[in-house]
Amino acid sequence: MTSVGIERPIANGPASVTASHGRYRWLIVSLLFLATTVNYIDRTMLGLLKPELSQELGWSEDDYGNIVTAFQFAYAFGFLFMGWLIDRVGPRIGYAIAIAVWTVGHAAHGFASSVMAFMSARAVLGVGEAGHFPAVVRASSEWFPQKERAYAIGWVNSATTIGVILTAPTLWLCMEVLGLGWRETFIYTGLFGVALTVVWWAVYTAPRESRRVTAAELAWIEHDPPESVRQIGWGALVSKREAWAFASAKFLTDPVWFLMLFWLPSYFSSTYDIDLKVVLLPMIAMYLLSDVGSIAGGWLSSRLIQRGHSVNFSRKITMVCAGACVLPLLFVSGLENMWVAVFLIGLALAGHQAFSTNLLALPPDMFPKRAVGSVIGLGGFMGGIGGMIMAKSTGLVLDATGGDYSIIFAVCTSVYFIAVLTIHLLSPRLERADI
């Protein structure tokens, strides 16, 4: 095998290989963590600016709904293209393209005035951001063996909530401290994406092409059994039950995360008369709990695998435990004490993130690396479709029940167990797909 970097022998499977030699792969995790934070700051900023923009530009709730729908639609379908692209050209080139596209879309908000212009900007943002998780999982499959991959993904996944938490301070710094208007804020924060693109291009390579990876660390990264490196087409993927095991679970569980992102401020405003964009402490507490769940979920399944349990047992038992953490949502409606509600919702968010971390680890478990981006893309598309259905259904239920979230929360608690059952029926042993 030839390499752009240093020539090294292929290292697969020796029993003496351990994780103790070399830590450069964790720099890659740090880079993906940073990229995820920027991704979610760009995604969340419009929602926090909605009151000001609605007043200045005369938006109705329907106008804002159309802008949000444009993002969700582009995000869902963008997964199909971006997943394919990242498999085709690799994460280094593919993710650089994705970052550049979403940065253009983010900065374009600063030049928009009409509803249609904002819809167009959100659509470009959605297509670019759809490349994020296919790139994250593909890069993780290149840099981490199966035994610790979920743990690495858990750390990266935890940055989603860090990005949400940091959005309000970013706006405060730009608009209150620096005195920028909302248009300049969108444009100047686009520099985050420009810097991220440069850093990604300068730092990221495949492990064998990096001069900073020791032979011992490379042996650990590559000690899983070798696999096919050929490109795998859509026809081969969509005919596999393993692909639909992942995609079905994303369809069922991603909408819960979208619900929490888009409806939590409204829930706390109507129930406890506070605004999470102003009173940040409840939001910070809930999302920090979700970070704990993301990291703990990845750690648990990785630990079980390292202790000799099968991948099948380790992933599924962790997902069942994660689903159990969401059950307290059943008791949130009607609570008078806001901080009890904050804790229970935070526990549910932790359960979701623990589940999501292990779900994202399944495509590399079941498919060759060159197919991982496409499988993640299929799952992201299905998750986006589920999110659109959840958004519409939530509005209808709240209108019909006078703002009662009981039914919505009850549905959220059940979908994780249905998702695990679906995964088990379609892939009883999480074996490699026969391609």
Q: Does the pLDDT at position 18 exceed 60?
A: no
d(C-alpha 433, C-alpha 435), whole Å: 6
Strand runs labelled E in 304-395: none
> Residues 256, 260, 262, 266: is their CA dihedral positive or negative?
positive
Distances (CA, A) of 301 to 115, 222, 334, 353: 45, 20, 35, 13
Give residue-wise pLDDT tens across range 132-145: 999 999 999 899 99
Give residue-wise pLDDT tens across range 349-367: 999 999 999 999 999 899 9
Q: Name the pTM for this structure.
A: 0.81
d(C-alpha 374, C-alpha 212), whole Å: 29
Instruction: Tell me the three-class secondary structure of 123-189, residue by residue.
Output: HHHHHHHCCHHHHHHHHHHHHCCHHHHHHHHHHHHHHHHHHHHHHHHHHHHHHHHCCCCHHHHHHHH
Reference 149, options 214, 224, 76; nearest CA is 224
Residue 58: phi, psi to the nearest 5?
70, 35
Give residue-wise pLDDT tens across range 114-134: 999 999 999 999 999 999 999
Could you give the domains of the chain? 24-426 (1.20.1250.20)
Q: Compute the residue count for the chain.
A: 435
